[in-house]
């Protein structure tokens, strides 16, 4: 969130346009080259300088978290569908497949997510989504355990 948004003002049109262009370029570069894609190349494709990229996204993790937001919204929608299932084993299997698709979206994606999950740093932009994924996975595992489909020794 920009300082203007925190102050209740909408960002200027060029600021919004630059942010959208950066997110689109980052999505393409992460798909093509993985999460270690060149941030300079992202900025160049978006038609902005490195300084503009870093004003919007101070770290690679901040840019990655913003790009993943759309994919996270899709995963949350998938989770809502899975939660309607009465078969705990089927729900866990579908959730694990959904996670597999999410984690394989970009080459190298699991590493920064695992690092964020392990560190649990409140200011790391990837930490909240990791915490949500862990909580959801734990709920599916516990439900499958309660139904006798998963050993109690299995932990999420």
CA atoms within 13 A on the CB side of 137: 14
Helix-, strand-, coil-residue percentages of the chain, each rounded to 5:
70, 0, 30
Q: Mean of the pLDDT values across residues 35-51?
A: 97
Distance CA 75, CA 80 (A): 9
Do 46 and 84 fall within a single domain?
no
Do 88 and 125 fall within a single domain?
yes
CB 130 within 8 A of CB 119: no
pLDDT in tens, 103-153: 998 999 989 988 888 887 778 898 888 888 889 999 999 999 999 999 999
Q: Domain range for residue 75? A: 67-156
Do 118 and 136 fall within a single domain?
yes
User: What pLDDT does 53 receive?
Assistant: 97
Is the pTM here over 0.85, yes or no? Answer: no
In the chain, how many domains are there? Answer: 2
Q: Look at residue 2 and tell me whether its pLDDT is greater than 60.
A: no
Of 9, 28, 58, the residue at which a domain comes to its end is 58
């Amino acid at each position: 969130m920009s300082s203007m948004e925190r102050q209740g003002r909408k960002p200027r049109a060029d600021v919004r346009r630059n942010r959208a262009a950066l997110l689109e370029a980052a999505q393409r570069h992460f798909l093509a080259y993985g999460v270690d894609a060149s941030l300079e190349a992202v900025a160049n494709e978006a038609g902005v300088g490195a300084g503009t990229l870093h004003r919007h996204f101070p770290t690679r993790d901040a840019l990655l978290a913003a790009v993943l937001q759309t994919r996270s919204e899709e995963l949350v929608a998938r989770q809502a569908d899975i939660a309607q299932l009465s078969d705990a084993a089927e729900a866990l299997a579908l959730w694990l497949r959904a996670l597999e698709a999410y984690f394989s979206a970009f080459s190298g994606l699991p590493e920064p997510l695992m690092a964020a999950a392990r560190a649990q740093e409140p200011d790391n932009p990837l930490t909240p989504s990791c915490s949500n994924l862990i909580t959801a996975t734990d709920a599916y595992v516990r439900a499958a355990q309660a139904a006798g489909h998963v050993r109690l020794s299995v932990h999420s």
